[in-house]
Amino acid sequence: MKVTNSLQGWFTLKVHKGDAEQPSQVASFENLITDGGLNRIGQGSFLTRCLVGTGNTPPDVLQTTLASLVASVGGMTTNYTATTLPPYYGTFTRKYRFNPGVATGNLTEVGVGWVTAGSTAVFSRALIK
């Protein structure tokens, strides 16, 4: 029996004007899962923080942090779904919310990751499109 596994990551960013009603901007795009992120699976929590920054270097599988961190926040809600019939797949959705005024400015990069040894390591990273 041949078993194939794959991972794909997507970010959906929503900008609100200080309320949770209608977002003023929405963007959805793929992200790059890092080698460190793949190695972290099965070893511990790996999507506990969302990070935003002002770096503009292209994502690379060898990255361990954001290029220029501005703010990070812990996860708020999590949702899992899975199919029971072929083709088998599952989804994992985690929502993060930055308080007003915390993640401001011209943000150009986003990532998710975990805290290790006082800093935040990235599971995945993308430039904001």
State the Rg of the chain over Cα. 15
Strand partners, 27: 13
Closest-CA residue to 129 (of 103, 108, 111): 108
DSSP 54: -
Tell me the sheet residues that pair with 13: 27
**Taking 80 as the threshold, does the pLDDT of residue 19 lie above it?**
no
Tokens of 85: 């019939």
How far, in Å, CA of 18 to CA of 126, rounded?
A: 24
pLDDT on residue 16:
78
pLDDT above 80 (res 126): yes
The pLDDT tens digits of the residues spanning 74-104 come to 978 899 999 999 988 899 899 999 988 888 8
CB 41 within 8 A of CB 33: no
More confident residue, 17 or 124: 124
- Widest distance between CA atoms in the chain: 53
| DSSP one-letter code for 62 | T
pLDDT tens track for 55-77: 999 999 999 999 999 999 997 88
